[in-house]
Amino acid sequence: MSRLIMFHGRECPHCRIMMPHVDRLEKETGVKIDRLEVWHNEKNADLMRSYRDVIEPKCGGQLRTPTFMNTETNDIICGEVEYETLKKWATK
Amino acid sequence: MCNDIHYGVKPPEVCPTCSVQKAYMEISSEEAQKTCDGTTSVMKKADFRQAIERFAEGNEFRVNPDQKRVETLLKGIFDNERNHGLKYCPCRLITKNFEEDLKLVCPCNFRIHETYKDKEDGECWCGLFVRRKNNE
């Protein structure tokens, strides 16, 4: 079963900008996105690192935040995007 | 030649202080630590802010004029130094490979990144540094 994850950093401005989009998306579509903070939570950080081979090629060769990931399809979005782009990713 | 210590994964071809080419000698991290311990103190956020302003002076980039964003980023950078040892970018995660993670220490070499290079409105990934406009 697919799991939608948003890896984010507490002090990452891009992540802060994306949070209202995630709120809206969950409200409008009913999908659930797990928001996992990675700089202050080592367990979440290790989980993000475990997907390094999938994330890095799509994120400039780095583990950037925010990263949106579908764990089943490995669909990845990196950084700030428009709401519609996020919605398309989440409801694919 | 000038006894400056350069910290990084490899020595500079030309010393930025005395301009001598390839005049370096590698020392152990223990020796560097010993040398630095007597002369350094922990940098405060305001000092770092001044340091990045100086770093950007005369360059094609500047510190982001969005003060709120800069404050958020500086908090993240200093949290990372306290919790993870170095001033890592708060918008990228360390891999736990020390040499690789040095690339994430702020300020990073953002001029080679796709978010900055060849972009009129280029900025580093986190947005701490932005390309100057013509009149800035």
Q: What is the pLDDT along chain A (92 residues), one digit of tens a residue?
A: 789 999 999 999 999 999 999 999 999 999 999 999 999 999 999 999 999 999 999 999 999 999 999 999 999 999 999 999 999 999 98
Is the Cβ–Cβ distance between A65 and A14 less than 8 Å? yes
Cα four-point dihedral sign B14, B15, B18, B24: negative
The radius of gyration of chain B's CA atoms, rounded to the nearest angstrom, is: 16
Overall pTM surpassing 0.80 (yes/no): yes
Closest Cα to residue A61, out of B79, B104, B122?
A: B104
Residue numbers in B near A40 (CB within 8 A):
79, 83
Domain residue limits at A37: 4-91
CATH superfamily membership of B45-131: Ferredoxin thioredoxin reductase catalytic beta subunit (3.90.460.10)
Q: Say yes or no: ipTM exceeds 0.90.
A: yes
Interface of A with B (CB under 8 A): 7, 9-16, 38-40, 45, 48-49, 52, 60, 62-65, 79
Task: Domain ranges for chain B, please list them.
Answer: 1-40, 45-131
CATH number at residue A38: 3.40.30.10
Residue A37 amino acid letter:
E
Is the Cβ–Cβ distance between A45 and B93 less than 8 Å? yes
